[in-house]
Structure 1
Amino acid sequence: MPDKLGRYRRKRDPERTPEPVPAEGPLPRGDDDTFVIQEHHARSLHWDLRLERDGVLVSWAVPKGLPPDPAINHLAVHTEDHPLEYATFEGEIPRGEYGGGTMTIWDRGRYETEKWTDREVKIVLHGSRASGRYVLFQTRGKNWMIHRMDPPDASWQPPPAPLAPMLPVARDRPPRDRDAYQVEFAWGGARALAYVEGGRLTLRSGDGFRDVTSEQRWLRPIGGALGSRAVVLDGELISPAGDGTPIYVCYDLLYDDGRALLAEPYARRRAALEALEIAGPRWQTAPAWPGGEIGAVRQAAREQGLPGVVAKRLDAPYEPGAESSAWIFVST
């Protein structure tokens, strides 16, 4: 009988990694109904799908996570079988070791097997985050694809196609009904919309359509920071210190994990943005203040050499590509 965990053990030193490394011997047996999905921040972010089968966890690395929509298939790379104990593993695999990085449990639960062959596996997942019918099918060698077989959740919406950003109108004075607004700095940077899905970033230019991701490679880690969350952010690339080191300030959220927010009022979009707690070494959520404080915010902008402020109506939807009076730019 071949050792199903031999490849797993050869790749790991139990003296150096906190991962479970069982000794050779008879495999434990369960009910072949446990699954786990682990979020693995290794050299590149991916998700590991593991299915209990014949005493081991049969495993696939899924770079973009499980597809939410039957119209989209995702790559799934077949990896070595893992021990059943791995179904509860979370921890930090040391740098330099195989799979070095942070491993956390994204979801776990029970699954049913509808079909299992060497080239095709049909399952039904019953987890708190992952549920539904999926099929894994081999395409070439260790490369497989994973396909969702049933419709997405009724509330799920696909990410929007590339959008042109909403623009403010310029006024000489702040709005009179200031309590109906929230105010932000006008940064004077380069407008950019960030599309993040499956831990990967696509950054689009100020017209909303040109892909500038390769020109701003430093921002790619924001994808890993957001993990499996699919979002579309509106913001600007700025150099606040004046030293040529850009950061990304985001001030609107247009899509959030299956929910299109364009029709939502700005107040709700802003609350959802702040709930994401976007804060990193070179990306952050732009500050905002009640509209009644626009005078003080305008003065602060002037002192910092910023071009002005933008007052945004709390009840206004997002109007892609429009110059809208719901956003008012007032210079310093």
Structure 2
Amino acid sequence: MLDRYRDKRDPSRTPEPFGERRQGDDDQFVIQEHHARSLHWDLRLERDGVLASWAVPKGLPPDPKVNHLAVRTEDHPMEYLTFEGEIPQGEYGGGSMTVWDRGTYTCEKWSEREVKIVLNGSRAQGRFVLFQTHGKNWMIHRMDPPARDPMPALEPMLAVKRAKAPRRPGDYAFEFAWGGRRTLATIDGGRTEVKLLRPLAESFGSRSAVLDGELVTLGGAEVYICYDLLYYDGHLLTGLPFSSRRETLQSLEISGARWQTAPSWPGEFGAVRQAARDQGLPGVIGKRLNSPYEPGESQSWLLFSA
């Protein structure tokens, strides 16, 4: 049952295990995050002494309304339940592999064309069915209710112009107005439609997010300046105060050559406005710390010219 696995690999060139068939209780599973030629997740289920395996490009579906592709791959040895490592480039499956989750599962049905399971892991939980569609292509469907808030379709929150400084600057966080192209970026399954952010999206792995920011030209290069987080890892954040959304955004440590988290200074209106003038930026935005995210114009975000 492991012949196809061995035929694709050279034990002298890959750190992957080469164990023999080992009968167990048919109740263990592992999901590995695999940064190979394209990011995907490998679902492996213990069955008859090996790990029956599927490559799932977008990960487990969070909602019964959406099925995800699952490509049946060769059976893997049981030692793969704990395997993590770097498969050398040029080898089959070259790239880094980490354990995303592991645990036990209950099998409700297993046939050549359909597998019904209940996963009981720390991150993956619920009832799923895998069903064959054509050849090695299968689909995976979640059978129980959604495990998270649905991904939102949102319009951006817009600032209202003001001439005078706010009476209580301590109620606001102040940021530069960048004058760029406003862009809400959805990241899901390691992918995004914003071309510049595709490497960032892959680094998110299975975490989903909706970022709010601007595409700005700095030093001759286009950079995404991110200043708000509307959705993260299954939770809609728009009802939370800006200060809480900002805290979660900062924890993501979005920082690189082509993307940055916008600096934000609570209460520092005068200093931030002067810095905007010095740098030739169009202005300053004051964001009320206790404000939710309100699509369209909002009195909670105030725009001041530099």
TM superposition shift of 1:129: 0.3
Q: Distance in 2 between matches of 1:43 and 1:281?
A: 22
- Partner residue of 1:310 out of 254, 272, 285: 285
Q: Distance in 2 between matches of 1:233 and 1:308?
A: 22
Counterpart of 1:270 in structure 2 is 246
- Partner residue of 1:157 out of 140, 144, 149: 149
Counterpart of 2:214 in structure 1 is 236
1:99-138 Cα deviation digits (max 9, x unpaired)? 1111010000001111000000001111000011110000
- Partner residue of 1:95 out of 86, 89, 100: 89
Kindly report the root-mean-square deviation, in angstroms, between the aligned alpha carbons of the 2 structures: 1.1
Counterpart of 1:189 in structure 2 is 180
Describe the SS at the equivalent of 2:303: strand
Contact 1:185/1:309, CA 8 A, preserved across alignment: yes
Q: 2:29 aligned with 1:35, yes or no?
A: yes
- Partner residue of 1:220 out of 198, 212, 216: 198
Contact 2:2/2:21, CA 8 A, preserved across alignment: no
Describe the SS at the equivalent of 1:220: helix
1:5-49 Cα deviation digits (max 9, x unpaired)? 111111111111111123xxx521111111000001111111000
Contact 2:243/2:289, CA 8 A, preserved across alignment: yes
TM superposition shift of 1:277: 1.8
Contact 2:214/2:226, CA 8 A, preserved across alignment: yes
TM superposition shift of 1:87: 0.7
- Which segment drifts farther, 140-149 or 294-303? 294-303
Q: 2:53 aligned with 1:59, yes or no?
A: yes
Q: 2:304 aligned with 1:326, yes or no?
A: no
Q: Distance in 2 between matches of 1:304 and 1:13?
A: 57
Matches within 5 A, 1:75-224: 75-153=69-147, 156-161=148-153, 163-202=154-193, 213=194, 217-224=195-202
- Which segment drifts farther, 167-176 or 86-95? 167-176
1:16 partner amino acid: R
TM superposition shift of 1:177: 0.3
Counterpart of 2:68 in structure 1 is 74
- TM-score with structure 2 setting the length: 0.97
Describe the SS at the equivalent of 1:92: strand
TM superposition shift of 1:152: 2.3
Unaligned 5+ segments in structure 1 are 203-212
Counterpart of 2:264 in structure 1 is 288
1:328 partner amino acid: L
Describe the SS at the equivalent of 2:218: coil
Counterpart of 1:208 in structure 2 is none
1:9 partner amino acid: R
Describe the SS at the equivalent of 1:68: coil
1:225 partner amino acid: S
Q: Distance in 1 between matches of 2:114 and 2:71?
A: 13
Contact 1:174/1:311, CA 8 A, preserved across alignment: no
- The structure richer in strand per residue is 2
1:142-195 Cα deviation digits (max 9, x unpaired)? 100001111123xx210112x221111111222110110001111111110000
- Which segment drifts farther, 85-94 or 169-178? 169-178
Describe the SS at the equivalent of 1:200: coil
1:44-79 Cα deviation digits (max 9, x unpaired)? 111000001111110000011001111111110001
Contact 1:51/1:59, CA 8 A, preserved across alignment: yes
Describe the SS at the equivalent of 2:34: strand
Contact 1:174/1:328, CA 8 A, preserved across alignment: no
Q: Distance in 2 between matches of 1:324 and 1:218?
A: 29
Q: Distance in 1 between matches of 2:34 and 2:157?
A: 36
Contact 2:287/2:300, CA 8 A, preserved across alignment: yes
Counterpart of 1:11 in structure 2 is 8
Q: Distance in 1 between matches of 2:89 and 2:281?
A: 42
- TM-score with structure 1 setting the length: 0.90
